[in-house]
Structure 1
Amino acid sequence: MRAFLDALPGLSADVSDSERIDQLALLERVQAACVAAQARVMVDFDASQRHDQAEAGVPRRRQGGGVADQIGLACKISPQAAAMRLGRARVLVAEMPCTMRALARGDISERVADAAVRQTSHLEPADRRAVDALAAPRLPDMSLREADAAVRRLAYQRDPEGSVARIAAAARDRAVWSRPAPDCMSRLSAILPAAQGVAAYASLDQQARHLRAQGDGRTLSQLRADVLVERLTGQASAEAVPVEVGITMTVEALLDDSDEPAYVDGHGPVPAALARTIAAGRQQAETSRDPVGERSRAWVRRIFTDPIDGSVIAVDPRRRELDGPLRRHLDTRDRVCRVPFCDSPIRHRDHVEPYSEGGLSTIANGQGVCERFNYTKQLPGWRTIVLHPGHEHPRHEHSTTDAAQRRPRARGPAHRVEIITPTGHRYQSHAPPALGPGAVPARIGEVSELEHQLVLRLIDAA
């Protein structure tokens, strides 16, 4: 397989365009076949791990724990995404053999196979196999949309009552979530029962059109968005958001002496100018709607970084809603779960080296992880080790009060942890740059006296 992988970069050299099209079609089939092969490997690995766990005395209800986590690390995807892949693999191997064969031959794509699995999820295994046998021969000639509709129709016909129950189950899974969007925007999404979704949008649209008719200069799209924010938060205007916003920025950027992008918690990088505006408490409203430049009610937790090495040097405790500086420091340093490729929100702040085994309750021995991994790493065969303690807070590094001896300096690499899985594979987890992925220190060298004094004041205030 490695030889095949090494040969791929040179495929299109010295061939005609007709041959390139043939190569594209063949590579698409190879991609699908690889997905099928991965599915079989996942199912075999799952069975083997469950057997080993049973032999080790793991209770039956906990057998299978950590399997998706290991798959995620190997495939460079989150544990949740790996669990979904493993679930799909089990279905294809055990309950949809015809679709699995079509995927292994490269006759259908991964997305078509996904649709077939998804649209039969409410069926009993026997009914699922029956639909699989009917649908699989038709899938190679269908688009994704056609395949999705065809399998759904067959599933409805096979089990009408189950289809109604599936709709009810979907309603129970209603949810709202938020994701960062380009250009310092945020995408707020909801999945709702059809009637509720239609009613919610109609209400927003009606109010937007009413305001527009009264002479409001905003577009209908802008009005719908602003009305949504105002209704959800209960505030008078969309810009006056009364919540805490965490901003990480360099001292230079704060002083308007650098364009180094800042980092907004829960969103990502933003331009330095926008960060200064938010940190100062000013609204982002258009001048036509905010002629006096009134200040918003947003609470801003400002976090400053060392201009030499980019590490967090102080946290402004303007509003302490969390239970202690250690937890806040870990949240600020790690941002999301420290497991590679996970990106889940931090739910547990835990010892890397267990407290029960002598691990200390320090920043160096702490990390922020998701709930899933905190339980997974307690399973047999899992270990986590601190490879590098990272940067200690300058306050703890220097006992002297001499300002000259307290000058910030470069202190080596970031906090680093190694994860060891039951198969013996090792994965390293690095604390992310304080200003977000891809950030580098603004400059290398001595800080100015003004910056130095500001840093010391912030450290003393924290």
Structure 2
Amino acid sequence: MGDLRDGANVPFDEDATGEVSSRAELSVDALSEPTPAAPVLPPHLRPVHAASIQESRRLAARFTALAPSFHDPESEDYDADAAEAEILSAALALRCTRAVADRILRDAHIALTQLPLTLARLECGEFPAAWFDRILRRTRHLTARQMAFVDAAASCWPATSTTEQFHHRLSRLLGRLESQQETPAHLTPEGRRRVELLPTRDDGIGCLRVVGPAPEILALAQRLDSAARAIQAAQRRAFEAGETPPLDPRGTVAGTATPASLALLQYDLLGGAAFGTDGVQVPQPRFRLNVTVPVLTLLGGSQEPGMLEGTTPIPASMARELAGASETWHRVLTDPCSGAFLALPATRYTPTRAMLEHLRLRNTTCAVPGCTRPTSWASEADHIEEYDHGDPEHGGLTEIENLHLLCWQHHRAKTAGLLDPTRLPSTPGLPGRTTWSIRDRASVIVHDNEDLATPHTTEALMDSWTRYQARLESRRRALERRKNPPPPPY
């Protein structure tokens, strides 16, 4: 039999009850061995090493505290509404998004139930927190049976290992485990085909990632490369013949008399590709793509960035270019001091398109605290105070103060009574507030988003006006002195 400490061989048995038992003997003495000597460090780095030990202990304590909040969807008594309430409550406690809280609760459950031996080493500070986190991330697809052997092996690995050695041990162990069993369909290269929008960076850069089997991705890359090279060659021939170059959507190729780069040509080919939907009619987008630009930025008097979809700042130059290329502008009114979006009047039960756009500007994601699902797509308008169809005058009005956009899941949860929002009295010109109660177990007050550029732009305008007025007053006084010079001193 191989050495379990190296993860070279991982033999296992499963008894008739389905309980996993390892052939390797893991005694309590193995976990109570003296901790290896700490590295020799200069005085100014010793507190850093001590802090890393405390970080491991804090992570273990957090997992222990959060594990009871996890609701296993595979259990017979699983309650989706109770699980959602627990996730949202944990997100408030962790001060993170719902998606992150969901992942952390799952990790806590796995740590306590499937990695108890390794968690014990984490709890005593011997196992680095980053190592434990890597084990959790690399083993999400393993079965409970396989996790038992990861735990048995990792709990025996020496803490004197380097990080590189730990990565090697873990990769070797996982490779052997995965080779012994058939990969689930959804984890095969074919099952992982997808296109995903990655989180947008703060410099106006977005990223769309295509994932799939390597042969298909390589074939796509080769097709793009071949097409780009053919167009680049055609652009060169067009210049030699004095003709208009092909694929020049920005006019920069003709303007510079230089063929576009292969990277830019591939980008333009993807951006202009037509989607073959096999005759399926695709509905028009529910919302427009919003780029909010301060008026002074448009006029060139300010470098205040624009905002794409209310969340992603874009450079002022890019905002001006987008605005210049647009045929229609929509005016957005905000309070000049606070940046609060000014409400529209209530007119009917169904919100108007202008109201929906206003709500999306105010909350670019689902209004439930912790939820990051964008409101640009499958969002639903909801009355905070229910609309009374039988007696509209005595129910919640269809007005901005009584509306918000929710994702379908949380709209259903609110209708079921899991979530209870209450709109608080607001001061005109200031962002509104909503109290969210989660099944009477947690509550939080959430302020509406505001246009962050407005107060800054207003302050700059007032400062400019004050300096202008001071210059006028200085000129007036100088002119007055020239007209009425003071008498000579004698």
Q: When the two structures are superposed, what TM-score results if normalisation uses the length of structure 1?
A: 0.68
C-alpha distance in structure 1 between counterparts of 2:127 and 2:193, whole Å: 29
- Alignment partner of 2:218 out of 195, 198, 205: 198
Show the 5 A alignment for 1:77-88: 77-88=96-107
Partner of 2:60: 36
Show the 5 A alignment for 1:26-425: 26-46=50-70, 60=79, 62-138=81-157, 140=159, 141=161, 142-143=163-164, 145-146=167-168, 148-157=170-179, 159-161=180-182, 163=183, 165=185, 167-168=187-188, 171-172=191-192, 174-214=194-234, 215=236, 217-231=259-273, 244-265=288-309, 268-281=312-325, 302-306=330-334, 308-309=336-337, 310-313=339-342, 324-346=353-375, 347-355=379-387, 358-377=395-414, 382-389=419-426, 411-422=428-439, 424-425=441-442
Distance 1:175 1:328, change over 3 A: same
C-alpha distance in structure 1 between counterparts of 2:84 and 2:289, whole Å: 36
Tell me, yes or no, if the aligned pair for 1:212 and 1:218 is still in contact at 8 Å.
Answer: yes
Partner of 1:397: none
1:73: Cα distance to partner? 1.3
C-alpha distance in structure 2 between counterparts of 1:103 and 1:86, whole Å: 17
Distance 1:138 1:332, change over 3 A: same
Tell me, yes or no, if the aligned pair for 1:261 and 1:435 is still in contact at 8 Å.
Answer: no
Partner of 1:406: none
C-alpha distance in structure 1 between counterparts of 2:289 and 2:54, whole Å: 47
C-alpha distance in structure 2 between counterparts of 1:166 and 1:112, whole Å: 26
1:67: Cα distance to partner? 0.8
Distance 1:412 1:382, change over 3 A: same
Distance 1:61 1:418, change over 3 A: closer
Tell me, yes or no, if the aligned pair for 2:333 and 2:341 is still in contact at 8 Å.
Answer: yes
C-alpha distance in structure 2 between counterparts of 1:439 and 1:104, whole Å: 48
C-alpha distance in structure 2 between counterparts of 1:62 and 1:261, whole Å: 41
Distance 1:261 1:120, change over 3 A: closer
1:336: Cα distance to partner? 1.8
Partner of 1:399: none
Distance 1:330 1:156, change over 3 A: same
Distance 1:324 1:95, change over 3 A: same
- Alignment partner of 2:458 out of 442, 447, 451: 442
1:212: Cα distance to partner? 3.7
C-alpha distance in structure 2 between counterparts of 1:300 and 1:245, whole Å: 12
1:82: Cα distance to partner? 0.7
CA displacement, residues 49-94 of structure 1 (integer Å, 9 cap, x when unaligned) = xxxxx8xxxx845442311111111111111111111111111111
1:114: Cα distance to partner? 3.5
Q: When the two structures are superposed, what TM-score results if normalisation uses the length of structure 2?
A: 0.65
Structure 1 stretches of 4+ moved >6 Å: 444-448
What's the secondary structure of 2:422's corresponding residue? strand
Bigger radius of gyration: 2
Partner of 1:285: none
Amino acid at match of 2:181: P
Amino acid at match of 2:264: Q
C-alpha distance in structure 2 between counterparts of 1:266 and 1:197, whole Å: 33
What's the secondary structure of 2:272's corresponding residue? helix
Deviates more, 1:82-91 or 1:370-379: 370-379
Partner of 1:20: 44
CA displacement, residues 395-435 of structure 1 (integer Å, 9 cap, x when unaligned) = xxxxxxxxxxxxxxxx4311211223346543221221225
1:389: Cα distance to partner? 4.1
C-alpha distance in structure 2 between counterparts of 1:423 and 1:434, whole Å: 32
1:371: Cα distance to partner? 3.3
- How many pairs does the alignment contain? 372
Amino acid at match of 2:61: A
CA displacement, residues 281-321 of structure 1 (integer Å, 9 cap, x when unaligned) = 1xxxxxxxxxxxxxxxx565534344723344599xxxxxx
Amino acid at match of 1:368: L
1:169: Cα distance to partner? 7.9
Distance 1:194 1:36, change over 3 A: farther
1:201: Cα distance to partner? 1.9
Tell me, yes or no, if the aligned pair for 2:88 and 2:370 is still in contact at 8 Å.
Answer: no
Distance 1:27 1:186, change over 3 A: same
C-alpha distance in structure 2 between counterparts of 1:33 and 1:153, whole Å: 29
Unaligned regions of 5+ residues in structure 1, if any? 1-15, 48-53, 235-241, 282-297, 316-321, 391-410, 449-462
Percent sequence identity over matched residues? 22
C-alpha distance in structure 2 between counterparts of 1:199 and 1:139, whole Å: 44
Tell me, yes or no, if the aligned pair for 1:249 and 1:261 is still in contact at 8 Å.
Answer: yes
Amino acid at match of 1:137: C
